[in-house]
């Protein structure tokens, strides 16, 4: 009997807790733990996951955008929330919901100062983002003196943390580059902090940084993908368990004769008499067209079945000629037994893209 009755993303909160405890065990007792819950908590459910992580003791949250933080606050989350990429138009909203913006440009800093001044408050907490080599977002290292002088001109803002982001902490071949990033961050953060007369949190490491560079944990670490069960492809991450399982059911099983075609544009031609199953899951649910025509596969009754033809918006067809199955049987796209990393690899992508791409129309089910 199928455990699901429709396309469902199962979210295992017990696995989430286990991953949190595993990553936490790699830290010193006084190192803070920031949980990244952007993009619907990596495709799951940011509100349920956020509330659960708050209950088990995370120290900070991070989201990408202000509106993600607003949803957490509206759900009752009280833990501090860092907004990694705030936009000018949402700064008033950030203050309204006590969200702490990352500042990555002088323009944004000045805009926030104006909003804070107009709000009649002072010492609003902010996080200073420095670019140490990722070259994506952040102040230049040469901006330190200008920033410190600008901040000293008023009491509108108070620096809560100084941080940066590692570019390749999972790649042992880039160890020298990563060590250089760590050294640069250590230098710029020390210079910044030495000019302030109050304590400031320093943070640099992501999940791979936590596992590979314990000397760079500083005061806090930021864990995203590791919380959801993925990390380094090595023994250091063996205890991480995938939190999400994408499942569906067999809607129909039918026979197709040799020479018949399957799907749009007659994408698959049956070389032999075949048995085909249709699954109510398509590219609108997160299984992209790149998985069609034999690239991707699903699992039915522990047996692999290749996706054939072009992936449709709401359906995929699979070859079950050699698979024992019937209508209503459960179908596993990815999960603990068949990690998203494996499915992502065949499509030349990464687990992040696959798990965060699961559509919001897919039912979420939580298990402990």
Give the model's pLDDT for residue 2. 53
Residue 1 has pLDDT above 50, yes or no: no
Cβ–Cβ < 8 Å for 256, 242: no
Query: Per-residue pLDDT tens for 241-276?
Result: 999 999 999 999 999 999 999 999 999 999 999 999
Cβ–Cβ < 8 Å for 354, 334: yes
Model confidence band, residue 333 (pLDDT cutoffs 50, 70, 90): very high
What's the CA gap between 9 and 73, in Å, rounded? Answer: 24
Q: Enter the DSSP assignment of 349.
A: -
Q: How far is CA 267 from the centre of its chain?
A: 33
Residue 218 has pLDDT above 90, yes or no: yes
What's the CA gap between 66 and 79, in Å, rounded? Answer: 15
Give the model's pLDDT for residue 200. 97
Residue 234 has pLDDT above 90, yes or no: no
% of the chain residues with pLDDT over 70? 98
Residue span(s) of the chain under CATH 2.40.37.10 come to: 244-367
Residues 6+ apart with CB under 8 A from 172: 212
Residue 363 has pLDDT above 60, yes or no: yes
Q: What are phi and psi of 183, to 5 degrees?
A: -65, -45
Residues 6+ apart with CB under 8 A from 269: 259, 260, 261, 262
Give the model's pLDDT for residue 127. 98
Cβ–Cβ < 8 Å for 34, 58: yes
Query: What is the mean pLDDT of the segment spanning 360-368?
Result: 96
Model confidence band, residue 232 (pLDDT cutoffs 50, 70, 90): low
CATH fold for the domain made of 31-228: TIM Barrel (3.20.20)
Between the CA of residue 93 and those of 45, 96, 184, what are the distances in Å? 22, 5, 33
Query: Per-residue pLDDT tens for 291-313?
Result: 999 999 999 999 999 999 999 99
Give the model's pLDDT for residue 238. 73
Query: Per-residue pLDDT tens for 111-129?
Result: 999 999 999 999 999 999 9
3-state SS assignment for residue 301? coil
- Which residues are identified as catalytic? 38, 264
Model confidence band, residue 3 (pLDDT cutoffs 50, 70, 90): confident
E strands of the chain, at which residues?
A: 8-12, 32-36, 60-63, 81-83, 100-103, 124-129, 157-163, 201-203, 220-223, 244-249, 252-256, 261-262, 268-269, 274-279, 297-300, 303-308, 316-319, 330-334, 363-367
Query: Per-residue pLDDT tens for 6-15?
Result: 999 999 999 9
Q: Which two tokens stand for residue 78?
A: 């009280």
In angstroms, how far is the first alpha carbon of the chain from the final one? 21
Query: Per-residue pLDDT tens for 92-101?
Result: 999 999 999 9
Mean of per-residue pLDDT scores for the chain:
96
Question: Whole-prediction pTM value?
Answer: 0.95
Q: Enter the DSSP assignment of 352.
A: H
What's the CA gap between 346 and 355, in Å, rounded? Answer: 15
Cβ–Cβ < 8 Å for 218, 203: yes
3-state SS assignment for residue 191? helix
Residue 212 has pLDDT above 70, yes or no: yes
Model confidence band, residue 239 (pLDDT cutoffs 50, 70, 90): confident
Residue span(s) of the chain under CATH 3.20.20.10 come to: 31-228
Residue 25 has pLDDT above 50, yes or no: yes
CATH hierarchy code of domain 244-367: 2.40.37.10
The length of the chain is 368
Tell me the pairing of strands 201-203 and 157-163: parallel
């Amino acid at each position: 009997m199928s455990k699901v009755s429709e396309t469902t993303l199962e979210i295992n909160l017990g696995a989430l807790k286990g991953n949190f405890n595993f990553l936490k065990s790699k830290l010193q007792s006084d190192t803070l733990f920031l949980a990244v819950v952007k993009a619907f908590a990596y495709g799951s459910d940011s509100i349920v996951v956020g509330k659960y992580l708050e209950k088990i003791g995370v120290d900070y949250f991070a989201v990408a955008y202000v509106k993600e933080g607003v949803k957490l606050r509206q759900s009752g989350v009280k833990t501090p929330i860092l907004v990694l990429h705030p936009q000018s138009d949402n700064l008033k909203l950030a203050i309204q919901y006590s969200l702490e913006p990352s500042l990555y440009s002088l323009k944004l800093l000045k805009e926030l100062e104006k909003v804070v001044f107009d709000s009649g408050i002072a010492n609003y907490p902010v996080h200073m983002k420095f670019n140490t080599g990722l070259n994506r977002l952040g102040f230049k290292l040469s901006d330190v003196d200008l920033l410190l002088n600008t901040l000293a001109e008023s009491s509108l803002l108070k620096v809560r943390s100084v941080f940066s982001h590692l570019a390749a902490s999972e790649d042992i071949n880039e160890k020298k580059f990563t060590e250089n990033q760590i050294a640069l961050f250590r230098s710029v953060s020390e210079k910044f902090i030495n000019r302030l007369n109050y304590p400031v949190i320093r943070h640099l490491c992501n999940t791979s940084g936590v596992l590979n560079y314990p000397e760079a944990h500083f005061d806090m670490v930021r864990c995203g993908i590791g919380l959801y069960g993925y990390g380094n492809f090595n023994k250091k991450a063996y205890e991480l368990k995938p939190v999400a399982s994408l499942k569906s059911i067999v809607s129909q099983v039918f026979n197709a004769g040799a020479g018949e075609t399957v799907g749009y544009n007659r994408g698959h031609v049956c070389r032999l008499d075949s048995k085909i199953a249709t699954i109510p899951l398509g590219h609108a649910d997160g299984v992209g067209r790149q998985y069609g025509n034999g690239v991707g596969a699903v699992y039915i009754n522990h047996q692999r079945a290749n996706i054939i033809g072009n992936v449709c918006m709401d359906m995929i067809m699979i070859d079950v000629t050699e698979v024992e199955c019937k209508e209503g049987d459960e179908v596993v796209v990815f999960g603990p037994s068949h990690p998203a990393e494996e499915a992502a690899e065949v499509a030349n992508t990464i687990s992040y893209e696959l798990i965060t791409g699961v559509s919001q129309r897919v039912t979420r089910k939580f298990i402990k």
